[in-house]
Structure 1
Amino acid sequence: MKLLKSSLLGSAAAFAAVAGAQAADLPVKKAAPIEFVRVCSAYGAGFFYIPGTDTCLRLSGRARFQYGFQAPVGRGNGAGDYSGYQGLARINIDARTQTGYGTLRAFLRVEAASRTGIPTLHSGTQIRIANAFPGAGVDAYGRVEQYLNTDKAFIQFAGFTAGRASSFFDFYAHDFEMVGVTSGSDLGSTNLAAYTATLGNGFSATISMEDPSFRRTPIYSSQAAAAGAAVANSSSALIFAQTNALTPVFLGYTAAGVPSGLGFTDVVQRNRMPDFVGALRYDAPWGSAQVSGAVHELNTGNTVTTFVGTNAGAALTQANARPLARTPSEYGWAVQGGLKLNLPFIAPGDTLYLQGSYGEGTQLYTGNSSYSGSYTGNPTSIQGSAFSQYFQDATLNPFTNRLELATSFSAVAAMLHYWSPEWRSAFFGSYGENTFANGARFAQGSYFGLLGTGPGVPGTRYYALNQVLRDTYQVSAGASLIWSPVKDLDIGLEGVYVKVGAQNGRVLDLNKVPGQTAAYVNNLANPVRTINSEDIFQLRARVQRDF
Structure 2
Amino acid sequence: MSRLKSGLLACCASLAAGPAGHAADFPRGDSGLADDLRACNAYGAGFFFIPGTDTCVRFSGRARYEAGFVPNRNRTQSQGDQSQARGMIRLNLDARSQTDYGVLRAFLRVDAASRTGILQSTGTQQRIANAFPALGQDTFGRVQNFFIAEKAFVQFAGITAGRAASFFDFYAHDYEMSGLTTGSNLSSTNLLAYTSRIGGGLSLSLSMEDPFFRKQPVYAASVAAAAAPLGAPSQFVAPTAAPTPVILATDGGFNATGAAFLDAVQRSRMPDFVAALHYDDSWGSAHLSSAVANINVGGFIATPALGPAGTTIANDTAAALLAARGVTSGAQTDYGWAVQAGVKLNLPMIASGDGIYLQAAYAEGAMNYTGFTFFTGSYASNLTPIQGASVQQFVSDAVVNPITGKLELSTSFTVVSSFLHYWTPEWRSAFYGSYGALNYKRGTRETFSMLNGLVGNSAPPNAFANPVAFSLSPVLRDTDQVIAGVSLIWSPVRDLDIGIEGTYIGTSVQSGRVPDATYPILVNGLPFVTANRHDAGQIRMRIQCDF
Contact 2:255 2:462 in 1 (8 A): no
Change in 2 beyond 3 A, CA 1:256/1:319: farther
Which residue in 2 is equivalent to 1:128? 127
- SS of the equivalent of 2:445 reads helix
User: Could you tell me whether the CA contact under 8 Å between 1:253 and 1:259 is conserved in 2?
Assistant: yes
Instruction: Determine which of 412, 415, 418 is the counterpart of 1:408.
Output: 412
Q: What is the match of residue 361 of structure 2?
A: 357
Q: Which residue number corresponds to residue 57 of structure 2?
A: 57
Change (3 A) 1:424 1:242: farther
Q: Given that residues 167 and 210 in structure 1 are in contact (C-alpha distance below 8 angstroms), is that contact kept between their aligned partners in structure 2?
A: yes
Q: Distance in 2 between matches of 1:80 and 1:466?
A: 24
Q: Check 1:316–1:140 CA distance in 2 against 1; reply closer, same or farther (3 A cut).
A: closer
Cα distance between partner residues in 2 of 1:461 and 1:258:
17
Do the aligned partners of 1:73 and 1:536 also contact (CA within 8 Å) in 2? no
Cα displacement (A) at 1:70: 0.4
Deviation at 1:250, TM superposition (A): 2.6
Shift of 1:246: 1.2
Does structure 1 residue 39 correspond to structure 2 residue 46? no
| 1:19-418 map, 5 Å | 36-117=36-117, 119-225=118-224, 242=239, 245-251=242-248, 260-309=257-306, 316-321=313-318, 322=320, 324-380=328-384, 382-418=386-422
1:214-234 CA-to-partner distances (Å, cap 9, x unmatched) read: 0011111111316779xxxxx
Tell me how far apart the structure 1 counterparts of residues 55 and 317 of structure 2 sit (CA, whole Å): 70
Q: Which amino acid letter does the alignment assign opposite residue 536 of structure 2?
A: I
User: Any conservation in 2 of the 1:66–1:85 contact (CA below 8 Å)?
Assistant: yes
For residue 477 of structure 1, give the secondary structure of its aligned residue in structure 2.
Answer: strand
SS of the residue 2:315 aligns to: coil
Offset at residue 181 of structure 1 (A): 1.3
2:460 is the alignment partner of 1:455: yes
Q: Does structure 2 conserve the Cα–Cα contact (< 8 Å) formed by 1:405 and 1:436?
A: yes
Matches within 5 A, 1:526-537: 528-537=528-537
- Give CA deviations for 1:46-85 in whole Å, capped at 9, x if unaligned: 0000011000000000000000100114222222111011
- In the alignment, is the contact (CA less than 8 A) between 1:226 and 1:308 conserved in 2? no
| Contact 1:120 1:381 (C-alpha < 8 Å) held by counterparts | no
Unaligned runs of at least 5 residues, structure 2? 1-25, 229-235
* 259 and 72 in structure 1: CA distance in 2 versus 1, 3 angstrom threshold: closer
Letter in 1 for 2:207: S
Q: Label 1:92 to 1:256 Cα distance change in 2 as closer, same or farther (>3 A).
A: closer
- Post-superposition Cα deviations, 1:315-349, rounded to whole Å, max 9, x if no partner, equal 73233332541331111100000000000000000
**Equivalent residue for 2:425, pick from 421, 424, 427:** 421
Which whole-Å CA distance do the structure 2 matches of 1:120 and 1:194 have between them? 34
Q: CA deviation at 1:461?
A: 0.5
Equivalent residue for 2:474, pick from 461, 467, 471? 467
Aligned to 1:329, what secondary structure does the other structure show? strand
Q: Structure 2: how far apart are the matches of 1:173 and 1:58?
A: 25
Partner letter of residue 411 of structure 1?
Answer: V
SS at match of 2:389: coil
Instruction: Map Cα deviations across residues 127-165 of structure 1 (whole Å, 9 max, x no partner).
Output: 111111100112211211001111000000000000000
The answer as to whether partners of 1:298 and 1:331 remain within 8 angstroms in 2 is yes
Relative to structure 1, the CA distance from residue 227 to residue 301 in structure 2 (aligned partners, 3 Å threshold; closer, same or farther) is farther
Secondary structure of the residue aligned to 1:299 is strand
- RMSD after superposition: 2.5
When residues 73 and 171 of structure 1 are mapped into structure 2, their CA distance, relative to the original with a 3 A threshold, is farther
2:175 & 2:110 partners in 1: Cα distance?
A: 21
User: d(CA) in 2 for partners of 1:465 and 1:407?
Assistant: 22
1:442 counterpart = 2:446: yes
* Amino acid in structure 1 at the alignment position of 2:209: E
Q: How far apart in 1 are the matches of 2:472 and 2:490?
A: 47
- The structure 1 segments of at least 4 consecutive aligned residues displaced by more than 6 Å after TM superposition are 31-35, 253-258
Contact 2:347 2:355 in 1 (8 A): yes
Corresponding position: 1:489 with 2:496: yes
Q: Is the 8 A contact 1:227 1:246 kept in 2?
A: no
Task: Kindly provide the amino acid, as one letter, of the partner of residue 317 in structure 1.
Answer: A
Contact 1:252/1:310, CA 8 A, preserved across alignment: no
Deviation readout 1:89-144 (Å, 9 max, x if unpaired): 00000000101101000000000000001x22111111111111100112211211
TM-score by length of 1: 0.87
- Do the aligned residues in 2 keep the contact of 1:327 with 1:402 (CA within 8 Å)? no
Partner of 2:511: 504
**Cα 1:244–1:499, aligned 2, differ >3 Å: closer, same or farther?**
farther
Q: 1:343 to 1:258 in 2, by over 3 A?
A: closer
- TM-aligned CA distance change 1:493 to 1:427, over 3 Å: same
Quote the Cα distance in structure 2 between the aligned partners of 1:133 and 1:507.
33
Deviations 1:336-363 (A, max 9, x none): 0000000000000001000000001111
SS in 1 for 2:316: coil
| TM-superposed deviation, 1:406 | 0.5
Note the C-alpha offset of 1:308: 2.7
CA distance 1:256–1:221, shift in 2 (3 Å): closer
With over 3 angstroms needed to count, the CA separation of the structure-2 counterparts of 1:106 and 1:368, relative to structure 1, is same
Amino acid at match of 1:457: N
1:305 deviation in Å? 2.9
SS at match of 1:59: strand
| Paired residue secondary structure (2:339) | strand
- Secondary structure in 1 matching 2:394: coil
Aligned residues: 499
The verdict on how the C-alpha distance between 1:227 and 1:377 changes in structure 2, with shifts beyond 3 A counting, is farther
